Structure 1
């Protein structure tokens, strides 16, 4: 598994456009899992999980970590292709926010803040760098702890009266 992958291919953006695929990527973030395990964990049908995993696999966002023969069939253990996915295309953030919105609405919010503030372009870059440093420095607490989602963005709002 790579440490970091920059999302750049249109097929990858399309694959990330569905909230269940985000949930799947989070579910296999630290430990590989089978279609059956993912279906149970996410309370979904195996066929639905298999379809979405195929989309992620085709977009090279997941890979097969291990395969084994079970009752005459082959069972694959999937893992993310990279520990961390980065999005350097400015058009990526709205795609991510739309895809994560359903999961955020259904989950338990621990904390968050939305604020607009006047900054220079340099200050905005400094804040962005500080957020990235904080997020990149977080260490995974291990398999026996709960998972949390983290979304952080700095953006320049559209001027009033434009669409």
Structure 2
């Protein structure tokens, strides 16, 4: 059993290294966002695919399951967490939110403002996750725009035709 655990540990280490290498080769800037390491960036990139398939940040939030659902009754206006959407992406955003709450970040300040405004922990987390979803969406769009602006072989400003003399 110990040998099996060691073998599985080596496989995990190899997979982590492969993910880190792949994320680095994509040129993504997701890892610059607080709370996203190479593992979460790999999950996000793999689950999202092309960000251009989402027409807006709201559509992306719906896909990640961070768009709240209104469950109001009478004069009471409430929202609840959507159970729809990609649960792995939702989990990645949740981990990002927890990381931001634990450290002195803008996410923590936002969470505290929501709590001071009378929201429960779950409600404040839902708001923060939606905000982080929008941030991730903008970052993915930024990365995609940089990739599209690059020419052949990924070099910005490179031309398709040769400028060499006949």
Structure with the bigger percentage of helix: 2
The structure with more strand, counted as a fraction of residues: 1
TM-score normalized by the length of structure 1: 0.28
Bigger relative contact order (CA 8 A; separation at least 6): 1
TM-score (structure 2 length as normaliser): 0.28
* Bigger Cα Rg: 2
